[in-house]
Amino acid sequence: MSRSPPSGHGTAGELLRSPAKGSKLLRDPMSEPTRDPLPELALALLLATVAVTCATTGEVVPLGRDSAAPASRVSSPSVVGDPSALLDGAPMAGPVATDDGADDMAGTVAAPPWRATLDALANGARDESVHLVWLGDSHTAADFWTHTVREEVQTRYGNGGPGFLRLGISPYRHGRAKVVTSGRWRRTPTAPARAAVTDDGVFGIGGMRAEPVSADARVTVELHTTAVGGEPRWDIAFRFRTAAASFAVTVDDEAPIVVDGRDGHGPEIRHLELAGKHGGELSLGRFTGRVELFGLTVESSTPGVVLDTIGIDGARIATLLAWDEGSFRAELARRRPDFVVLAFGTNEAFAEEDVERYPGQYAQVIARIRAVVPDVGCVIIGPTDVPGRDGPDGRVTAIDRVQARAAESEGCAFVSLHSLMGGDGSFARWARSSPPLAAEDGVHLLNAGYERLGSALVERLVGAE
């Protein structure tokens, strides 16, 4: 079933506010209480048709089929990178204009980090998609901000598909797909933002996994009509913990494929790749035994830009260090990123720990990434303005400084969202603007605000069209 892209308003976090509808408070019933200042992701249909719920690679051999089904295959990880992508390590700043008279946005960077690679795609010098893996906190998780970046670069350089999607995690939204989860599921970790290792730490690149626990558990992914430029290519990441485990997968109107654990089960993440139809649908159900899902990637059969949105409410950069390094590397290798974005800092702004710890944490995360993709381009993005935490001697500006230093040390670009918003006090100005750009919770932005930041980021990282 095809869907049109959502057009409603909302923002990540406990407070979701639409200028037309007021505010609404929701909580994720699966979450554990934590001390993280950014609450668990809660998304609501505030206006019509907002889409909600919208490692070693092992071989997968479907051992049983109900009847004829789409061709499937298994691919091995490969690594690519673009050494020319790694450019400016200096802070890129300049306020975004608001309706109350804030300064106009400053000029773009002379040589934006992403431009050369994207131009090669546009002029035919590159025949494979450009991959961006974007890791962050709740600003990232809701996929308003990141979807603005995705839409703009895909419009200019080609639509390579939605990229990474979560499976079995609810509530959840993505700008290119509607993901519907039914039945009962268990999420591990129950509090994914924690920096402590949970269980075996195997969470792939998504930072969490989901296990069906009721007989009626099911998850369906419906692509929006604009989700891919060509035909969708589905890649399901999962593992079987017992030989008796199995599930059925249905693509479009084809007969279901039954996949089971007799050919392989254990701690390794496995993959099943399937081809589908434009504007398609994929469903997983009929789970037996212990099946764990790590997410899904969807790419187009034609090359373009693919932006993986991987956000976790309450996350800090240290959260990534709690994930099993081997499986993270293996899953990252499958994504073949040309660029990695690390968008953290807002939760660090509410912490009491020494900010001088953060450069070392960034160094460890980037080392894990470059162990797989040595020439990957990287961008560190700092926190937004946070009322009560900004100011010349405030926590936000201190974090900005250490992040900029870490970016320079690691050869990454750096973007200050605090500066892009207009500096100290800009959150309050955004909240008072017409229409409002920032939420009443004092932490998150509204959809219009995220769209404005996304467009500003595209101009700085890619350049004006």
Q: Which residues pair with 3 in a beta bridge?
A: 224
Q: Can you give the residue range of the structural domain that contains 242?
A: 15-461
H/E element, 209: strand 209-212
The answer to the question of residue 436 being in a domain is yes
Q: Is 264 part of a structural domain of the chain? A: yes
Mean pLDDT value across residues 111-134: 91
pLDDT of 42 > 60? The answer is no
Overall size of the chain counted in residues: 465
Within a domain: residue 91?
yes
**What's the pTM value of the predicted model, to 2 decimals?**
0.80
Can you name the residues that pair with 205 across neighbouring β-strands? none
Calpha distance 211→185 (Å, rounded): 5
What mean pLDDT is predicted for residues 282-288? 97
Number of domains in the chain: 1
Percent of all residues in the chain with a pLDDT value above 90, rounded to a whole number: 70
Question: For residue 168, what are the CA distances in angstroms to 68, 159, 191, 288, 381?
Answer: 26, 26, 15, 15, 29
Q: What is the pLDDT of residue 15?
A: 25
The answer to whether residue 193 is domain-embedded is yes
Q: Is residue 2 part of a domain?
A: no
In a domain, 10, yes or no: no
pLDDT of residue 262: 84
Which tokens sit at 310?
A: 């991987």
Q: Is residue 8 part of a domain?
A: no
Return d(Cα 306, Cα 337) in angstroms, integer. 9
pLDDT band at 23 (very low <50, low <70, confident <90, very high): very low
User: How far, in whole angstroms, is CA 306 from its chain's centroid?
Assistant: 11
Q: Give 246's strand partners.
A: 260, 288
Query: Is residue 280 domain-resident?
Result: yes
- Identify the CATH number of the domain in which residue 178 sits: 3.40.50.1110
